[in-house]
């Protein structure tokens, strides 16, 4: 996709301004129903597109991303634009600086058309927790697009943009990609800078791309990866042309299928589609190995202790003083200020997690919950270290089910949390995860996408990208 459009731009078959106008036409037609976007940056987008057209006319070398319409999830800061994280708390917050990922794509002349919807502060699995209303799944608008990067996935799949940035703390890139039929890459923890990304769980958060093809995800990663002095957890290497590693051959690669990911809770039709995709990998020359990741059953509980602990600390900064949220509040004391601002600014799911996280970090419970969860996290990491002595990649369903109906799980947080069962582990242990479309299941006459998740060794994005690419071009 990106490469084809780039060629067309260079050949003069289309201009960047035309591509951008087209993107806004599709948005005009579709976004009232889908609600993939929270805000638009049309003026900057049109200016950028015109600049790219001038560069092309002058024969200047342009990047693959140049002139191509894209979108950015609204928990990523962009100078001068409202960045809400889909919360009422940040309704009027105008970011005073660019996140490093935003700087990098801007430097490559990407045309950013707007900011996409998410669950409030990236807490959720359906985008229904947005304070500004849910996004709908473009494949079937009666269903959720997944979350929390549901706006980014919907924008890509509905052709509003060519690609979009998302963030992933427990599956928020991969699961919506799976639900909408897109490709979603969560890089290794540390591969991409978190500077300027509104923090959810700081030891889990990563930025990545949602795209239509695996090569596009590789192209975007090449532009956003690499060390950033502004993020102390960013790795020191990583600026590579990831797309060059998509060679389309995985003969001899060992792909591990962990039995723990195929047990209770997995929808039968999703299991069938997934098993067919395993067969396809076999036909492509991969060796399929049955493996075990024995601590898998503790992953979700571990995540739902560590993530709220970190989230409750990160959200402590929203007190109505530095980031807005105090409009119309007239407190007499500091405590009143906190209670009023936070009481009206945060939605129910965010409050639930703040309470959970405050509890698990409090004196007397810290050892029993947070510290224990960190110990289990180390065991989960060992599971992966052991697995990677036997196999190159681990392959699982991305989610236990296909996109469900809007509203289906809103009243049952536990059921909602179970949608993350196959994705949270990659964040807990830090490995990269790539969700690729592997087929569809028929539901009420609609073909709903199923995603398969390839997990690789730490910093082996090129490996999973090549495996995903090989699958994609051969199916
Ligand atoms: N669905 C998960 C949660 O609710 C993941 C969120 C995310 O990755 N931001 O926490």
pLDDT per residue over 215-261, tens digit each?
Answer: 999 999 999 999 999 999 999 877 899 999 999 999 999 999 999 99
Region 346-362 average pLDDT: 97
Region 154-182 average pLDDT: 98
- Please indicate whether residue 258, judged by its CB atom, sits closer than 6 Å to ligand 1: no
- pLDDT band of 287, cuts 50, 70, 90: very high
Q: Which atom of ligand 1 is nearest to the CA of 122?
A: 9
- Please indicate whether residue 171, judged by its CB atom, sits closer than 6 Å to ligand 1: yes
The structural domain count of the chain equals 1
Residue 108 has, within 13 A of its CA and on its CB side, a CA count of: 21
Query: For ligand 1, atom 2, which residue shows the shortest CA distance?
Result: 170
List Cβ neighbours of 229 (8 Å cut-off, separation of 6 or more).
none
pLDDT digits (tens, 9 = 90+) for 372-428: 999 999 999 999 999 999 999 999 999 999 999 999 999 999 999 999 999 999 999
Region 83-95 average pLDDT: 97
- Please indicate whether residue 53, judged by its CB atom, sits closer than 6 Å to ligand 1: no
- Please indicate whether residue 205, judged by its CB atom, sits closer than 6 Å to ligand 1: no
- Please indicate whether residue 190, judged by its CB atom, sits closer than 6 Å to ligand 1: no
| pLDDT of amino acid 239 | 84
| pLDDT of amino acid 238 | 78
pTM of the complete model beyond 0.85: yes
* Interatomic CA distance for residues 388 and 188, integer angstroms: 15
Statement: residue 345 has pLDDT above 90: yes
* Interatomic CA distance for residues 241 and 246, integer angstroms: 10
Question: What secondary structure letter does DSSP report for 400?
Answer: S
- Please indicate whether residue 433, judged by its CB atom, sits closer than 6 Å to ligand 1: no
Query: For ligand 1, atom 5, which residue shows the shortest CA distance?
Result: 170
Name the CA radius of gyration of the chain, rounded.
21
Statement: residue 326 has pLDDT above 90: no
Ligand 1 centre from 200 Cα, in Å? 9
Ligand 1 centre from 329 Cα, in Å? 30
- Please indicate whether residue 170, judged by its CB atom, sits closer than 6 Å to ligand 1: yes
Best residue among 166, 169, 357, 404 to mutate for probing ligand 1, ranked by most atoms within 8 Å of CB: 169
Ligand 1 centre from 177 Cα, in Å? 13
List Cβ neighbours of 176 (8 Å cut-off, separation of 6 or more).
127, 145, 146, 147, 148, 149, 150, 152, 153, 154, 166, 182, 184, 210
Ligand 1 centre from 286 Cα, in Å? 31
Q: List the helix and strand counts (H, then E) for the chain.
A: 15, 11
What are φ and ψ of residue 369, in 5° steps? -110, -65
**What string of DSSP letters covers 339-397?**
HHHHHHHS-HHHHHHHHHHHHHHSTTTTIIIIIHHHHHHHHHHHHHHHHHHH-SEEEEE
- Contact in structure between 85 and 350 (CB atoms under 8 Å): no
- pLDDT band of 328, cuts 50, 70, 90: confident
Domain containing residue 193: 1-475
Instruction: Give the CATH number, domain containing residue 261.
Output: 3.90.1300.10
Region 26-34 average pLDDT: 98
Statement: residue 214 has pLDDT above 90: yes
441: helix, strand or coil: strand
Q: Which atom of ligand 1 is nearest to the CA of 169?
A: 8
Statement: residue 88 has pLDDT above 90: yes
- Please indicate whether residue 169, judged by its CB atom, sits closer than 6 Å to ligand 1: yes
């Amino acid at each position: 996709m990106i490469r084809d459009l780039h060629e067309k731009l260079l050949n003069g078959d289309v201009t960047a301004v035309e591509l951008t106008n087209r993107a806004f036409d599709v948005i005009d037609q579709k976004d009232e129903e889908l609600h993939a976007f929270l805000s638009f940056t049309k003026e900057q987008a049109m200016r950028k597109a015109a600049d790219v057209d001038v560069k092309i006319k002058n024969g200047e070398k342009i990047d693959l991303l140049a002139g191509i319409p894209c979108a950015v999830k609204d928990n990523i800061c962009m100078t001068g634009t409202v960045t809400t994280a889909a919360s009422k708390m940040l309704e009027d917050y105008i970011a005073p600086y660019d996140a490093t990922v935003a700087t990098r794509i801007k430097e490559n002349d990407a045309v950013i058309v707007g900011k996409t919807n998410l669950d409030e502060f990236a807490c959720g699995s359906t985008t229904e927790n947005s304070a500004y209303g849910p996004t709908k799944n473009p494949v079937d608008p009666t269903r959720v697009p997944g979350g929390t990067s549901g706006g980014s996935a919907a924008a890509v799949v509905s052709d509003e943009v060519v690609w979009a940035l998302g963030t992933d703390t427990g599956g928020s890139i991969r699961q919506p990609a799976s639900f909408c039929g897109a490709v979603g890459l969560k890089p290794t923890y540390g591969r991409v800078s978190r500077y300027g990304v509104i923090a959810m769980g700081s030891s889990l958060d990563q930025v990545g791309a949602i795209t239509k093809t695996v090569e596009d995800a590789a192209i975007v990663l090449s532009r956003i990866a690499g060390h950033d002095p502004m993020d102390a957890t960013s790795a020191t290497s990583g600026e590579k042309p990831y797309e060059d590693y998509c060679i389309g051959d995985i003969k001899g690669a060992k792909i591990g299928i962990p039995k723990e990911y195929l047990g209770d809770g997995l929808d039968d039709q999703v299991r069938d589609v997934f098993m067919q995709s395993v067969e396809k990998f076999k036909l492509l020359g991969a060796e399929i190995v049955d493996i075990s990741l024995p601590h898998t059953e503790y992953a979700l509980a571990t995540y739902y202790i560590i993530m709220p602990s970190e989230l409750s600390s990160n959200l402590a900064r929203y007190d109505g003083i530095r980031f807005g949220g105090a409009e119309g509040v007239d407190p007499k004391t500091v405590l009143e200020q906190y209670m009023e601002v936070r009481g009206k600014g945060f939605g129910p799911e965010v409050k639930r997690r703040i309470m959970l996280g405050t509890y698990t970090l409090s004196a007397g419970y810290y050892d029993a919950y947070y510290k224990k969860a960190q110990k289990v996290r180390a065991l989960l990491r060992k599971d992966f270290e052991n697995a990677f002595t036997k196999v190159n990649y681990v392959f699982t369903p991305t989610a236990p089910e296909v996109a469900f109906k809007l509203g289906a799980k809103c009243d049952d947080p536990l059921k909602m949390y179970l949608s993350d069962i196959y994705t949270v582990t990659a964040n807990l242990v830090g490995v990269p995860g790539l969700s690729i479309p592997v087929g569809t299941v028929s539901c009420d006459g609609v073909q709903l996408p199923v995603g398969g998740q390839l997990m690789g060794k730490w910093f082996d994005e090129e490996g999973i990208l090549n495996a995903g690419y090989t699958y994609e071009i051969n199916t």
